[in-house]
């Protein structure tokens, strides 16, 4: 639940920081490109810090518990049926491949996803906060 709240709040917080940057550092003017790059930097540094925390967690604390929970969730009968209904094949093979991944591989996959999400979310945030004289 906390992860969903944070995911919802992230673009709002990012837009607030961009507006504050626009109003206080740039005297109220901000072009789209500059705003997008600012949001990209926000997501980049946040993603790197998050990746470091995840690596520490997966490497030293987790000991496979996260993958056990993912496996338990995906192999539940209702989720198996839902995956079959959308045409997903090879669940067991996929879970075994994920289980064999090293912590650094898991973290790099999540980091890449976070950076891609930041690039995409940065476009409407920069468009919303742009202000030219």
Cross-strand bridge partners of residue 30: 131
Q: What is the pLDDT of residue 82?
A: 85
Q: What is the pLDDT of residue 37?
A: 97
What is the CB neighbour count within 10 angstroms for residue 38? Answer: 21
What is the CB neighbour count within 10 angstroms for residue 35? Answer: 25
Per-residue confidence in pLDDT tens, the chain, 133 aa: 788 898 899 999 999 999 999 999 999 999 999 999 999 999 999 999 999 999 999 999 988 898 888 888 888 888 888 888 888 888 888 888 888 889 999 999 999 999 999 999 999 999 999 998 7
Q: Give the residue among 114, 116, 121 at the shortest CA–CA distance from 49.
A: 114
Give the DSSP letter of residue 26: S
Q: What is the pLDDT of residue 124?
A: 96
Q: What is the pLDDT of residue 122?
A: 96
CA distance 75 to 81: 9
Q: What is the pLDDT of residue 29?
A: 94
Q: Which residues, including other chains, have CB under 8 Å from residue 125's CB and lie 6 or more apart?
A: 11, 14, 15, 18, 35, 36, 39
pTM as predicted: 0.81
Under 8 Å between Cβ of 130 and 32: yes
Listing DSSP states for 30-67 in one string gives B-HHHHHHHHHHHHHHHHHHHHHHHHHIIIIIITTHHH
Backbone angles phi, psi at 27, to 5 degrees: 55, 35
């Amino acid at each position: 639940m906390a992860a969903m709240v944070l995911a919802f709040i992230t673009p709002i917080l990012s837009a607030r920081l961009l507006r504050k940057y626009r109003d206080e550092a740039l005297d109220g003017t901000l072009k789209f490109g500059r705003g997008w790059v600012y949001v990209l930097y926000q997501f980049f540094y946040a993603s790197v810090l998050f990746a470091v925390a995840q690596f520490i967690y997966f490497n030293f604390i987790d000991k496979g518990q996260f993958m056990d929970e993912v496996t338990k969730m995906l192999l539940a009968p209702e989720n198996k049926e839902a995956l079959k209904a959308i045409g997903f094949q090879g669940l067991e093979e996929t879970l075994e491949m994920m289980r064999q991944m090293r912590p650094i591989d898991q973290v790099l996959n999540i980091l890449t996803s976070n950076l891609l999400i930041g690039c995409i979310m940065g476009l409407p945030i920069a468009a919303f906060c742009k202000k030219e004289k």
